Structures are given as structure tokens and as C-alpha cells.
Structure 1
Amino acid sequence: MAGSLVKRQGFGTAPVFLTSICTILGAILFLRFGFAVGNLGLWQTFMIILLGHLVTIPTALAVAEIATNQKVQGGGVYFIISRSFGITIGGAIGIGLYLSQAVSTAFYIIAFAESFSPIFNYLLASDFNILVYNYRVISIPATIVLILLAIYKGADLGIKTLYLVAFVLFFSLLFFFLGTTEYAQNMESIPWDAKILNGKSFFYFFAVCFPAFTGMAAGAGLSGDLKNPSKSIPRGTIWATIAGMIIYMVTALKLAISAPPGDLAADQFIMQDIALWGPAIPIGLAAASLSSAIGSILVAPRTLQAIGADKILPNSFVNDWVSQVRLKSNEPVNASIITSVITLIFVIIGDIDIVAQIITMFFMVTYGAICSISFLEHFTADPAYRPIFRSKWYVSLVGALACIFLMFQISVFYSIMALIIMAIIYQTTSYYKEDKEGLANIFQGVIFQLSRRLKVFLQKADPDSKEDHWRPSVVCISSNTFERFSAFNMLRWISHKYGFGNYIHLIEGYLSRETYKEAKECVNRMVKLSDSTKSRVYMDTIVSPSITSAIAQVIQLPGVSGKDNNMIMFEFSKKKPEGLENIVDNFKLVKSTDFDICVLGSSEKNFGFKQNIDIWITSKDYENASLMILMGFIILGHPEWKNARIRLMVLSPEKELEKQRNKIRELIRTGRLPISLNNVELNEHKDNIEAKSIINEKSKDADLVIIGVRTEAIKHDSIGIFNGYEGVGDVLFVNTNKEKEIK
């Protein structure tokens, strides 16, 4: 069957605009705005309006942008967030948004009851002498009528009611602006600073007034009933936000020039005294409050219905039940029933001041999330993100940061409470819903862009400039990745804190479909290995016909840090050193690229208890000494070696022992050698005893031995330079390109 099973209502832009503007121009405009002007003065009230719209305008633009990027269905703001941030986090924010919308309905109905205050005062002062002290006589019946309206007539009659309410609201404000007072007639200039003494603080009034600006996204909640949501939501939302800001600023100016600050601060119905026809103000208040209540009770069930349709709630039966709609009109009847119960409960409670602050926090969290989505989507440069309408990334960033800042300025306690509640909802949602792709994709895109920009920046920097502090950027190549883990362990220790590591698994052969598939499978295995050890090593593979061609390719690879690699690591088994000859044969090739070289001779000891590192320095090999010491301390930076100590083992002929002792002391005294003198051991090298024998004896209990090897010695002794250390465990042979300076 062609077409949708559920017929759309086909509303245009006007309902979006009216729902938003009627929610924006609510009870606070009539009841509390004069109070703010009297306490703060005109210019600070303007600052409240501008600061509030520093949040709402970026949010309106972000809603418009995200809405034009995709086909918007039912659920409004919830749909926009969930389809951009992923179902899990979108569902968490959506539940908080729904609760704030549902409780907001009760808030507006109580404000509607407040509009009857002049009538109650008249009844008390008249011959009837009737005292009405409980506004519930109005709020509860009004709630019941509104519930019946929402359940049985839904959006169709609700939209028609909005037109009537908007008409009344317009004429109420018109009577206010046409009115004048004797104070206004005697006003010579605009009283920018006129205010009462010892008034309340700026952020107190910001907290009071900000909910007035939060209605801008209300129209988006009708998305499931719109003919063209991608067109109507941006237009209606932006127009309502701008119109609301202008009306609030003009209202503040009118109040400031029409009454003294004391009257503004003392009389919550001061607008009635200013208006051309006084009764228009309580009528307008009733209309504004009623319109906001209608807007909320129309939007909240649609948010809940969309949440149920996405299976966000923990029970499948509840999800199915709340997601059901009346087929003929597309009305979410079941969701409306739940919303009505929540609304009635809070209306009966009556005092929702504390809850109102939490509502504000939920709205701020929602707006902050929308602005964050817009900013992140800009930053990721995802080709799939192609909105027809585009905001600027910095506008969204300002909106997101403003939300966070203002939340904590309003109330640290309620901000933390709102965030904790959102975290609990998120954890609960995550438990029942495994889809996290939306959030993961966005942050993955952010990381990609950051990585690209950083690498380009580093590449543009002077590559030949002298670095004050050397750090290793190591690439290790091995074909024994899954047989011996020593090289991988050494690389992850080096790259944990101070260095960078890139581990390359060599697959010998020519690139083909089979070797390509094998390489992909190996990478997956290596990533799991890396993840299980929580390493910071980048894992990869290379297919090459020989070790020489592989080395030639690997040393040309860029480093994972964005800078070129400066060290290569090889590994061989001391028990079966079959790969040692290949290492020696390619030594000259590597040295031609100015790389430092480390060769790890691994043993069955597997680094023992990781308690002792012995560094051997000879009088003929001070060129490698600095790099050896640096490598020792870099390895100590890993938690697995945190309890280890370094012994500096100096091997020198008897006639040079005193000279070496003085040299070591001077290096320690000047701080160039960060080691205690107690950890330095001088060893006499007699002519008739081979150095390897001394090392085997003195370091037999060491968990790692670091030995320097000179290029000339490798040319002379070939693989013999690495043999003969059977008496010790794992050995790291170090050959530096140039002497490192330890500062």
C-alpha cells in the first residue's frame, strides 16, 4: 500500500510560530517583569533579556539547522536530538525534556489561576464579602478541561484555540502599549538606572525571568503534525524568538517610563494601571498562561509518544502503549493520559517553585545539547550533514557555553541535581538500549578533524628546528607479534607517558586479496591486544616481500604524534636469534635516515618482577649514555615499573675509575643526571676479563639491562655484538643518532 498509514494533519508555519510565541509571552511577562525593572533598572533588565537570548537564539538557529538536515518526524526537539546524538543519549535528554514539558503545563495553569486575583479581590471588597484564598478552585477545573481538550480534540482544536489566544494576547498588549500615566507624561528622559534601594540580585531575577524565554522550541513539538517540518520549524522558531525578544525589550522600556521603581517592585499587576483598559491585562495574563499550558500539553505527549516509538522506556509493553496514536487524527492519546496525570498531580500540589527551578535546568540541559550538536556537526564536517539552513559554528558554541555558565549561576544545587538526574536516566536508558552509534560517530568525527588539523599544523612547523626536550617517537616492526609480546610490552611502556609508539606487524609476501584480508584480521587482533592492556600504541600491519623493503617503507611513515618518527625498534629471541642477522644487515639503511635504534633481546624471563633496571656505561661509549638513561626513566613512567629502581653501572679501566667517579658526581650535582649517587656503581674492567662476563655476573638479577652499542662495533663484530648475554634476562641495546642532552 502506497503512502503513510497515518495521515498527517498538514499544518503550516503559523502553528509553530503561534505555539512558540504564545509560550514565550507567558505569565512572567505580566506578573514579574515589572518587578524586575523596579529592582534592577532598565539597562540591567535589558541585560537579562539579551543574556537569555544568548541561549535561545543560538538554540533556535541550531534547531532550524538540524531540522533542515533530515526528515523531521514526530517528537520535535526529542527527534532532532536523538537522530543527531544517537537514540541512547537522545532518549536520556528526551525523558528529561518530557518531564519538564509535562510539569510546565501545571506551572502555566497555576499562573492562569493567578490571573483571577483581581476578581478575587473584588469579591472580597464588594458587598458579597467572599474570601477566595485557594487558587485551586480555578486551577483544578481548568486542568480537567484542558486534559479533556487534549485527549478528545488534540492538536486540531488546540491549534484553533491558539489562534484565539494569540488574538486576545495581541489586543491585551496593544491596550498596554497605548496606555499612559501621569508619571510617563512628566518623564523627560529614559530612566536607565532608576531602581529601588537594596533590591534583589541580578541572577535572582535572571532565574525568575529566564523561563519566559524557554518557549521558543515549543513549536518544534508539533513536527509530527506539520505538512513540511523542515520548512515550518526553522521559520516559525526563529520568527517567534526574534519577535519575543523585541516584545520583551519594548515592554521593559514601557514599564520603566510609565511608573516609578517602587510601584513596579511592589505591584505585580502594575501593567493593569498603565494599560488603556485595565481589565485587558488580567485577560491577557489568562490568555498567555492558558496558551502556554495548551502549547505544553500539546507538545509533551508527542515527545513521550516518540520516546515510546524508539523503545527508550525499560518496559516493552509501556513503550508500545505510549507510542499508540489515534489513526484518524494521529493523536497520541495514551501519552496524553500519562501527561494529564502528571500535570494534575503538580496542580494539586500547588507550590511548584522548587520544581520550576529544576524544570529550568532541564530546559537548559536540552538547549545546551542542541547547541552542542550543532557545533560538533560543524566541526566534524560530515558529508552526510547538509542542512539547507546553516548557522555559524561559533554561534552554537556560545549558546552551549552560555547554557552551562547560566545553569550554575542560577543555582549550583539544582544544576548538579539536574545533571545527576540526567546521568541516572542515561545509565538506565543505556542498560536497555545498546545503540550508541550517533554519539560515537559525532565524537569520532571530532577526533578525526582534530587529528588532521594538528598533524597539518605540526607539519607546517619548521621540521629542522631544534627541540629543547627530546622525546621518543618509536616505530617497531616485527613478524612475531603473536608469538612474543616483549617488543609490544616495551613499546607500550615507552609510549605510556613520555613517548609515542607505532607497532607494525610484518606480513611477508606481495599485496593481494588474500594478504590484504590477512592484514585486516591481524589489525583487529592487535587492536584487541592493545585494548586489553590499555596501551597507547597505534597498531598496524604492512605487507612486504622482505624485511629490508618493509623497513624502507616503515621508516618513511609519519609518526602518530604528527611529527616524524625518530627511533626504530627491533626484537629478537636470545634463545633462537634467527632474525638477528636481518637486523644487522639493515642497520646501515636505518642509520642513513638519522634514526635512533633500539634492539630488544627478549628472554624467557619476560622482564621478571619489573623491580630493577641496570644501565651499563663504558668509558668508550658516553655518546649512547644519555639516551640509555632517558630510556630507563621513560620506562619507569609506566605504572608496571613504578616501584622499580635504576642502577647506573659504570664500567671503566682501573686507571680511569677516579675520573669517571668525578664525572658522574658532577653530572648528578648539576642535575643533568637525575639519579641518586647511591644508585651508581663503579666497576673495574680488567684487560683479561670480557665486559660481557662482568655484565652477566653483576646484572644476573636485573629485570632489564640497557646496554649501548656503537655503530663501529656493529660493523666490526656484526651479530656477535648482541650475543653472549645468556647470564642476564631481557636486554635493550641502544644506538643513538646523536648524543642527547639531559636537562
Structure 2
Amino acid sequence: MDRPLNGSANGGDTTQETGQGISWSLPVLGNARRTSIEDHHGVVRHRSRSVSRLQRTSLAGPLPAKLGFPDEREKLAQDEGNEAQKLGSFSGVFVPTTLNVLSILMFLRFGFLLGQSGVLGMMAMLIISYAIDLITAMSISAIATNGTVRGGGAYYLISRSLGTEFGGSIGIVFYLGCVLNTGMNAVGLVDCFKQNFGVVSGSKSHFLYEGFWWEYLWASIILLLCTAICLAGSSVFSRASNGLLIVLLISTFSIPLSACIKQPFKNERLGIEFTGFSSVSFFDNLYPRLTKGAAGSQIKRRENFQDLFGILFPATSGIFAGTSMSGDLKNPSRSIPKGTLYGLALTFSTYTIVILTLAASVTRESLYRDVNIIQDTNMSGFLIVLGEFSTSFFSSLMGIIGAAKVLQAISRDALLPGLSIFAKGTKKNDDPITSILITLAIAQITIFFDINQIASFVSMAYLMTFLVTNLACFLLKIGSAPNFRPSFHYFNSTTAFIGTIISGASMFFTDGVYATGCVCVLVTLFLLIHYMAPPKTWGDVSQSLIYHQVRKYLLRLRPEHVKFWRPQILLFVNNFESQYKMIHFCNSLKKGALFVLGRVLVTDDFATAVPVVRKEQTAWNKFIEFSKVKAFINITAAPNIEWGVRNVVLSAGLGGMRPNVVVIDQFRKDNSDASLEPGLPPIRPTRRMPSNLSDGEGDTLRKTRTDSFERDPPMNIQSYLTVLEDLLFQLRMNVAVARGFENIELPGTNDDSPAKFIDLWPIQMSAEISSDGGRKGTNYLTTNFDTYTLILQLGCILNTVPSWKRSCSLRVAVFVEYETDVEEERRRVMTLLEKLRISAEVLVFWLASGDLQTYRIIVNGDRNNVDKAMLDAVEQALEEEDWWNELGRYRTTSRSSRSQRQTPTGSGSTTPREGGRRRAGLEGLKRVIESSRRRSIGPGVSLGMQTHRLLDSMVEYNSDGNESSSEESDSYLSESENENEPEGDGPMAASDVPIINQPEETTGQTTAASTMATPSPRAMFMKKGRVASSAKFSSAPIPTTKVVSEEGTGPSIMFADSSPPRRGSGAAAGLESIHNCSSGTPGQPPVTSAEGDTESQPRASGYPSQAAVPLSFNDLPGRAQHLILNELIKSQSRDTAVVFTTLPTPVEGVSHDKASCEAYVGDLEVLCDGLPPCLLVHSNSVTVTMNL
């Protein structure tokens, strides 16, 4: 049976038996109230008011002592002991501040300063100096009372406020200032002893040896003595400081006491006259009287206030002495403000009393002649010597211990390499032994320098620290961070700002040369720390300021004007190993604009997705940081990829800063890998992760793909087309489809790479819009001007990036079909580039040159002089195309007919019956090709486009138009083909695309030219009364560029509106298109009109022979065009780093039919197969302008 826990009334152990034979002993301490008992992993914790003990026992007896828990009273006692050794406000801050501010300059230079500036001038300089000190002290107090202050003094306060670079650089400058001040005070103390006790110069005695090395020895002894006190610990330092303060105060207040009790006298040898308190002497010393060559002067010209202020200010600048002891204070946040302000009050009062006493008791001539006037007029010169010793010795003492603690704090923060050895401290009090020793060594070196030069640099170091401290307080205040709530309230942003300005002005007023040098040292250290220090988690005020300003200007940011358009890119990503190169490419392409990485996680369980989203967010942020990419990451979780993409596009950016170009990866049939899909196996990386990543960081980044989302199903082709349609038609974004970027050679990665060009292939796409209404027979040509110019714009932007500009040159490649159009096309393209201010090499190719085997096979029907591999590739790509099969059969029949006519028995003439059959066959072939192009619209495989601008006359609908019947008999088409032909596929029902003008206000976007085709093209045509042809690639020369003469809200540059060109152009017009052939016999000359004018013109070079079907590039369906363009680009862009070209867009609604989706993606595969990294671009907005 278990005994109750409180069952022992006599204070013995109460024991609870357990099944394992283990009992727990809980000693009851008298009447102490037990507050809690916790049982965790076999341990019961008993807490009382004053003590907490843990002891585990067993039935066999107590466990070995080494397994027991230490009595927490020991740790508590140790903490209390350490706390007892800490310093309070008086000994830790007030005493060091008072001793450091009451400088030896008071004894050695106040007489000289008073003689030159008078009471009014000296008090003015003193008030200005103390105003700087007071404002800085308020800033110090504000920062120190806003949180926990640890060791490091001013460095710690500044670094945790302004960040690593500012804190580290000013900390090192302040450290050097403290070390130099130590050496300067040691030398000053030796000079004081020499003047009083020197063998040659002594006024009191003659026992101290003089000479450079003797003085160096005495200064070294002083430094060693100070070092010994610092090594003894903070308690010894505190006691020594208290003693020195008492001596200094006695010495200082002996000055007014001497004026009261000492009799007036006059010393002819020293040239001084002591009058005691005298109004005559006071008024004689009231106003400034600047002279040249007075005792104590170190310049040969007349004194000025700039020189005098440079001497006085160092006597007031030691306000950081107490702050430097922050690591040894019991309560730094309370002690620093209190001790510093009280110290300033005492020293200001003391200085004022000394100045007024000296002015009222000594004549003006005495001040000019005797630099040691205070000691010579004092009732006891020995007291003044003790005062000089106490202040100089403490300044040296404070310089060593304060500087050592600053160096220890800097070393612990690992800002610069090689400083870790100075981060160590003693176990008992954390005294910086190694830092003290290195500080001593540096101080020993400073003794060799000129004391005046040391004093100037010390002043600059202190003023620079004042400036940065006030700046930190000012920025914290105006940053309005909610967590900046200092308990010290006697400051505001105005006082901190004034302190910053006055400190900076005082630096350059005192000594512009040394101020400039100090700033240069600070900037150098800033840059070193910026590039060498590892990232810190302190947080700094710059983030608050950036946030404040970004929010402010984002609210003011309006949608960008076309003059200032730049690509703000949203790149959908999946895995940073496989898409590392694409990310860096887009980073180069953004032109200093917004760059967002979009990531979609597909999941039905949002609760499970949240922690994974956060992990991915962290991983991608690390990748962005270490890869030096200037991007943001936007991750969303959605039930399917389509909604995920919509959410990312709609939510990316903020205010007027939103993406205007969306980049997605091309859908790949081989592994169904698209960058939109999160659950796909990554492509094998062709580039290693950034070299600046450590192994651990690289491993962390590689683990970003979590198990839960690797099980997501791969994205199907209809989802991909749905995403593409949403971007193009619903969200109206500029879209770029990337292909092959895992193989791109980024600049600088391979100097021997043959990729030396950025090739722009802005392929023209056109759609003819004809009307059967009021203006019968009138056709209009719409062009993809926005896409054309966006390709030029992106290529030009990429070429402005220095790394790309050094390694690649820009080329614009265009093509026409016939040689006669080459020079005209070159002229028009160069005119366009000139108006857009783009410098690039222009290349113009013509398809009928005979160099393109695919063109010869498809257009000319030439199968004899081509590679078998190329012929097989064309046949494989077009084997399922009805028009290609019918064209092959027609060509075969045509060749057989010509062979029969050319036999010896043949008459060589064509009978009416044969001519009729051939005419019917040609008409049937025309219907097959046109039907194939129309079917590409119906199911949604159109190479669609968005028109740039349509005139109102283009969209006037007339329901009275006539419709050509598509039900005529076709003697050439097979019965099965007639059955498969869609209803209403007549020649006039080629596109059924409604064209609607946008309002004039929407000048930033182009009008839609493609919508989803209806199942009944005939009905649609009858309703609209017009016909739109299939938008497709065109080999016609680009239209003339038109610049708007009057400045307005619309586009300033465009292609001139024009009627559609003849099917073909130049000399071959009228012959090269199957649609322009008459119904006469193929191969015979065209019919001549009654007036005798022939319809034919001289053939262009490369025009098909008369034995072939008269096709042109513009007549071909999309896949055939893609085959030809693929060979052209592949042959001309072998040495190209990246290719920009036009994206053939699908008709809206294509995603509803899987077969149509596969056909569209297959067409893109044909276009891009074997090409260099390729970016296919489509624009929905105007991106160029001619306006100033």
C-alpha cells in the first residue's frame, strides 16, 4: 500500500513504492509549503519557497553521487555572488563618466583658452560642446532603455540598432579612438610629471630623467600599471576609480577655494598676477581677444575659434566611459541614463566654476604668459599635480578596459575573420584578458606618435560615434517600429536629428582633413564587414525604414506608363536544381523590375499543406539569398494546378507593382514535366548548385521537395492548356513559354562556348478579315505588332545586361518567301529598329532559295534531291494530316497526267473531259487545305493571335451577306473525307472569329482576335455576316511602320493599317498560291484578259516549277509552317545562346478537347525541336512608344 506523500510528520522522507521496486524520497522542509510535484521520465521535482531539490533513491539505497542532481542553491548562490560583483549606477557609470570628462586639459589648457576667447567665448564653446554631449546622452539613454544591454558599450547599442555594417565599422573606429586616447593620456601624464619633477624641466623637484626613451619608459610603466588593474577585475577597477575620483574632485575644487583664501600676489619671473576675486579682472576677461604666440599656442598664426573649439571639445567628450562598462553593470538600462546624465551635470558645473573663478582672479596678461596658470596660482601645487595624475591615469585605465570590452564584443559577433581569439573571457567575471593584452600592445605603439595628431584623431573618433549614435536614435524614432518603446522619454526625433547634424558639422569644423580621413576609414570598414561578415539575426533599423518607405511609395505607385514599361516577371517554378538556369536567365531579363517565383502545391488537405508551404517558403528564400537572385517567392496550395496558377497570378505583387509577363515551361510529352507541376520528378540538373553554398546549405536546399507533395499526380495536357488559355484570354497577361533552358549557357559559365548571339525571330502572324456586307470584297489584314515589338524589347533588354552584352551580340532574323521581297523587308525592319532605338544586326532570309529541304518537299513537292532522313521526318510529322495525304495523291495524279501527255502516242493536248477532272481535282485540293486550316480553328488548334488595332469599319456586321455553299460536290474528295468534313466548312466560313474594338481608354492592351469556335461555323457566319481567316505565320514583308503624328492616349507607333497582301508578293504575285490559281489547267499559262493583259508576272527566284502544285508558305496549315521554320531557325541559329520568337496561341476553348490539346502541343514540339533554348512570346499589351 502506498504511503501518502505527506505521511511523515517528523520531517523524514516520504516514500512511494512502485511496481519496479523504486521509491521516491521527497524531503519535507519544516513547515515549507510544497507548491508542485512533477513526474517526468522518472523524476519527481519538489519545489518549495526557497529551494528546489531533486533526489532519486531506491529500496537498495541512494544512487551514486555522480548520478544525482546538483543542489540548485549552489547555482543560486553563485549567481547571487556574480550579481554582487556587478557595478551599480554610481561606481559603474557616474564615476567613469565624471573621471573621463574632467580631462587633464582643464589643468593644462583652460588658462590659454580663457585668455583667447574670454568668458563669453569660452562659455559659448562649452555650452555647444555640452549640448552635443547632452543630446547624445539622451540618444544613448533612449536606445539603452529599449531592451537588454549586454557587453560592448556603444558598439553594442549601435550594432543592434543600425545593423552589422554600421555597428561593426563604428565599433572599430571607437576602439581605435579609445586606444589612441590611452596612449595620449599616458604621454600627457609623463609630460605633467616632467614639468614638475624633470631633471631639466622640473619646477618642484629634479629626479625624473628626461629624454625620448626615458619618457617612453615612464609611459610604458603607466600603461602596465593600468593593465594590471584591469586584469585584476572590475571590482579592483571600481575601487581604484572611486579613489581617483575623490582625488580629482579635491584637486578641482581647490581652484575656487584658492581664489577665496589665497592672498593676491604678482610673480615677475613667471609673468603672472593673481588678484583674488576681482570684478576688474572678471570684466577684463569677459570678451574674446585673439592673439598670436601666446603660451600654449601650437600654431604660428593668430588663433581662431575653430582652433580653440578643437582644443576644448576633447575635454568634454568622454561620455561613453560609463556605457563602455555595460557588461559589468547590474542593470545597464537603468544605470546608463542615470549615471551619464548625473556625470554630465557635475562636470558642466565644475567646468563653469573653474572658468568663472579663473576669470575673476587672474589678469588677462597672466593667461597669455603662463600655460600652467592654474597650478601656479593654487594654494597647493601638489593638489593640482594629483588632479592631473588622477584624470590622466583614469583615462588611460578606462581606455584599456573600455577598448578591450568593445573588442571582445566585436570578436564575439565574428564580424571580421581572425578576431575569434579576442572573444574569450575569464570564467568568473568574463574579463577580456586577450583583448586587454592586445590593447596594451597597440597603445605601446601609439606612444611613438605625435600627441597633437593623436588628439585630432581621438576627437574625430568620438564625434563620429556621437553622430552614428544620434543617427541610430533618429532612425529608430522615425521608423515608428511598435517595439521601440524606450522607458527614457526625454528625447524625440528632432533632438536626435539635431545631434546628428551638429556632430557632423563639429567634425569638419574642428579639422576637415582628419574628419575626411575618419569618414574614409569608416566607409572602408563598412564595406569590409558588408562583404566578409556572415548574416546576423539582430535586425536593424534599416528594415523598418525600408518597410516604411516601401509602403509609402507603393501607395503612390500608379500603373506604369508605357514609356517606363519594364518586364515584371512571374516565373512558375518547381525545382531550383533543374530550373536554376531559367531562374538566372529571368533575373537578367527583368531590367531592375519585379521578379516573382511562383510555386503551386496541389493538395486537397489544406491543414497538412500549411507546414509544407512554410518549409518551402524558407527553402526558396534561402535559395534566393545564396544564389544572389533578386526575386520574391509566392507559394500557394490549391486543389488543382489551374486554380493554383490563377491564385498566384492574381495575388502576385502589391499595389502598382505587379507582374506583366508570365513565364511557364513548355509541356513535355516525354515526361509530362512542366514547371507548373509540383509533383513531377525533377529534370536531371545540367548545372551545379551555386558554388557559394556550403554542403549543408546545398543539402538543405535539395531537401525542399517534401514527401507529401511528391505523390501529387502529374499535370495532364488539358490542365496545361487551361492554364495557358487563362493567362492569354482571361487574365490578359503577356505570356512566354520557355523551352530548353536547362541547357542554356549562361554568360561567364563557359568562355569557350560557341553561343555568341541573342537571336530574335519576331515571326509575323496575320489574319485576314473580310466583309460580305456593305463593302463587299473588302479585306483587312491584322498583325501581331505588340508581340513583334515585345520580342524586340526583351532581346534589347537582355543585351543591356553587362554579362550578356560582353558575351553575345544581338541579331534580328526575319524571313520572306521570295528573293524580290528581301531588300524591302530589310528596309522596313531596319526602319522599325531605328524608330525603337534598338541596335542590332538584321538578317533577312527567303524560303524559296532552295536551301530548305522541308520547303522543297512541302511546297515544291521535290522528293528527289533531299535527304531521306529529312523526307522521313516530314512524312512522320504530317502523316496524320488529311491535306498532306490528298496533296500527295494529287501530285501523283498530276505527274501521271503529264507523263501521259508527254508520251510519243499522246497528242500533247488536253481534252475537255480531262481538263474538267483536273480542274475539279484542284478545286477539291483547295477545299482540303482550307478545311484543314478551318478545322484547326474549330477544335482549337489555331495559331491564334491578338490584333493590335482594328478600324471601326472592320467590325461592322452585316447580316445580309451571302454565304458560299460548302455542299458542292467534290469529285476528288473521297466519301469518307466528305463524311468527316465539319458542317459548314465552306471557303467563306474560314474563321468565325468576332472582332470587337476595345474602348479608347484601354490603350495599354490589344483587342481580342480569337474566341472559341462554335460547333456550327455556318450558323456563326450567318449571324455575323463576315469571315475571319485562320491567324497563322506569314512570310509577307512586315507592314510599313506608322508613327502617330499627334500625341494622345493611344499607341504612338504601330504597323500601318492595310488591306491583305496578295498571296505572295513581289514578282511572284498571282502565281505562287493555290488560292490564286484559276480553274484552268495546272501547268498552263494563266488566262489572258480580253484587253490582252496577262495575270502573271515574271517568276521570283525559287518559285515552284510548273509541274508542281502552286502552293505558298502562307497557304500551309500550322504544322507544315512549323516544319519549315524549325529547319530555318535551326540552320541559322546554331551559334545562338537563346532564341526569342513568336508564340502561336491556341483558340480559346481548345482545352476542352484532349485531341486538340495534343495537336497544339505537338505543333509546338515541331516548331521547337532541336532548337537552342527558346522563349516563345505572346503580348497582350503595348510595350514600346515613340513619345518623349
TM-score range, shorter chain: 0.7 to 0.9
284-293 vs 123-132, which moves further:
123-132
307-316 vs 631-640, which moves further:
307-316
| Pick aligned residue for 1:472 from 567, 574, 578 | 567
Deviation at 1:251, TM superposition (A): 6.8
Q: Does 1:287 align with 2:387?
A: yes
In 2, Cα distance between equivalents of 1:47 and 1:82: 34
Question: 2:106 is matched with which residue?
Answer: 29
Question: 1:699 is matched with which residue?
Answer: 1129
Question: 2:812 is matched with which residue?
Answer: 648
Deviation at 1:510, TM superposition (A): 2.7
In 2, Cα distance between equivalents of 1:114 and 1:208: 17
Q: Give 2:245's aligned amino acid.
A: L
Question: 1:729 is matched with which residue?
Answer: 1172
Cα 1:129/1:460, change in 2 over 3 Å: closer
Q: Does 1:491 align with 2:568?
A: no
Cα 1:594/1:396, change in 2 over 3 Å: farther
Question: 2:603 is matched with which residue?
Answer: 509
Q: Higher relative CO (CA 8 A, sep ≥ 6), structure 1 or 2?
A: 1
Cα 1:282/1:672, change in 2 over 3 Å: farther
543-552 vs 300-309, which moves further:
300-309
Answer whether contact 1:357 1:414 (CA < 8 A) is retained: no
User: Unpaired runs of 5+ in structure 1?
Assistant: none
In 2, Cα distance between equivalents of 1:452 and 1:143: 48
Question: 2:241 is matched with which residue?
Answer: 158
Q: Secondary structure at the match of 2:239?
A: helix
In 2, Cα distance between equivalents of 1:350 and 1:666: 70
1:294-443 matches, within 5 Å, as 294=394, 296-297=396-397, 300-301=400-401, 304=404, 312=412, 323=426, 338=437, 345=444, 352-364=451-463, 366-368=465-467, 370-371=469-470, 373-375=472-474, 377-378=476-477, 386-390=485-489, 391-393=491-493, 395-396=495-496, 399=499, 406=507, 409=512, 411=514, 415=518, 419=522, 437=536, 440-443=537-540
CA-to-partner distance for each residue in 1:273-332, whole Å, 9 max, x for gaps?
A: 8xxx54578844751552352255257436636866997497999866x6366xxxx796
Percent of aligned pairs sharing the same letter = 19
Answer whether contact 2:479 2:548 (CA < 8 A) is retained: no
In 2, Cα distance between equivalents of 1:696 and 1:318: 66
Question: 2:723 is matched with which residue?
Answer: 586
In 2, Cα distance between equivalents of 1:576 and 1:182: 106
In 2, Cα distance between equivalents of 1:613 and 1:262: 87
Q: Secondary structure at the match of 1:268?
A: coil
In 1, Cα distance between equivalents of 2:316 and 2:185: 14
Q: Give 1:230's aligned amino acid.
A: S
Q: Give 1:304's aligned amino acid.
A: A
Deviation at 1:499, TM superposition (A): 2.9
Question: 2:749 is matched with which residue?
Answer: none
510-519 vs 641-650, which moves further:
510-519
Q: Does 1:553 align with 2:691?
A: no
In 1, Cα distance between equivalents of 2:383 and 2:452: 24
CA-to-partner distance for each residue in 1:444-498, whole Å, 9 max, x for gaps?
A: x633x34433442244226357453101212122446654556434422223x33
Q: Secondary structure at the match of 1:476?
A: strand
Q: Secondary structure at the match of 1:646?
A: strand
Q: Does 1:623 align with 2:795?
A: no
337-346 vs 231-240, which moves further:
337-346
User: What is the TM-score normalised by the length of structure 1?
Assistant: 0.78
Answer whether contact 2:558 2:656 (CA < 8 A) is retained: no
In 2, Cα distance between equivalents of 1:603 and 1:111: 70
Q: Does 1:215 align with 2:318?
A: yes
154-163 vs 417-426, which moves further:
417-426
Deviation at 1:234, TM superposition (A): 0.4
In 2, Cα distance between equivalents of 1:8 and 1:233: 17
Deviation at 1:694, TM superposition (A): 4.9
In 2, Cα distance between equivalents of 1:714 and 1:553: 20
In 2, Cα distance between equivalents of 1:156 and 1:9: 13
Question: 2:801 is matched with which residue?
Answer: 638
CA-to-partner distance for each residue in 1:195-230, whole Å, 9 max, x for gaps?
A: 559435665555444322221122334556656443
In 2, Cα distance between equivalents of 1:564 and 1:11: 56
In 2, Cα distance between equivalents of 1:453 and 1:340: 41
Q: Give 2:760's aligned amino acid.
A: D
In 2, Cα distance between equivalents of 1:341 and 1:466: 63
Answer whether contact 1:37 1:264 (CA < 8 A) is retained: yes
Deviation at 1:159, TM superposition (A): 0.9
In 1, Cα distance between equivalents of 2:1173 and 2:432: 73
User: What is the TM-score normalised by the length of structure 2?
Assistant: 0.51
Cα 1:227/1:604, change in 2 over 3 Å: closer
User: Unpaired runs of 5+ in structure 2?
Assistant: 1-72, 261-275, 293-299, 675-716, 746-753, 767-782, 847-1034, 1037-1063, 1065-1072, 1074-1111, 1151-1155
Deviation at 1:164, TM superposition (A): 3.8
Number of aligned pairs? 722
Answer whether contact 1:62 1:374 (CA < 8 A) is retained: yes
Cα 1:610/1:304, change in 2 over 3 Å: same
Cα 1:482/1:99, change in 2 over 3 Å: closer
Q: Secondary structure at the match of 2:85?
A: coil
In 1, Cα distance between equivalents of 2:1170 and 2:381: 97
Q: Give 2:80's aligned amino acid.
A: S
Answer whether contact 1:570 1:598 (CA < 8 A) is retained: yes
In 1, Cα distance between equivalents of 2:513 and 2:408: 32
In 2, Cα distance between equivalents of 1:101 and 1:362: 9
In 2, Cα distance between equivalents of 1:250 and 1:206: 19
Q: Give 1:473's aligned amino acid.
A: Q
In 1, Cα distance between equivalents of 2:399 and 2:208: 36
Answer whether contact 1:600 1:732 (CA < 8 A) is retained: yes
| Pick aligned residue for 1:191 from 274, 279, 287 | 287
Answer whether contact 1:308 1:318 (CA < 8 A) is retained: yes
Answer whether contact 1:42 1:253 (CA < 8 A) is retained: yes
Deviation at 1:53, TM superposition (A): 5.0
In 1, Cα distance between equivalents of 2:557 and 2:517: 50
Answer whether contact 1:501 1:537 (CA < 8 A) is retained: yes
Q: Does 1:17 align with 2:113?
A: no
Q: Does 1:446 align with 2:542?
A: yes
Structure of higher CA gyration radius: 2
Q: Does 1:460 align with 2:606?
A: no
Q: Secondary structure at the match of 1:4?
A: helix
Answer whether contact 1:207 1:410 (CA < 8 A) is retained: no
588-597 vs 359-368, which moves further:
359-368
In 1, Cα distance between equivalents of 2:576 and 2:208: 87
In 2, Cα distance between equivalents of 1:336 and 1:693: 75
Deviation at 1:140, TM superposition (A): 7.9
In 1, Cα distance between equivalents of 2:334 and 2:247: 24
Larger helix share, 1 or 2: 1
Q: Secondary structure at the match of 1:441?
A: coil
Q: Secondary structure at the match of 2:1141?
A: strand
Deviation at 1:519, TM superposition (A): 3.2
In 1, Cα distance between equivalents of 2:724 and 2:435: 76
196-205 vs 507-516, which moves further:
196-205
Question: 1:235 is matched with which residue?
Answer: 338
Answer whether contact 2:160 2:538 (CA < 8 A) is retained: no
In 1, Cα distance between equivalents of 2:547 and 2:601: 28
Deviation at 1:17, TM superposition (A): 3.1
Cα 1:323/1:730, change in 2 over 3 Å: same
Q: Give 1:217's aligned amino acid.
A: F
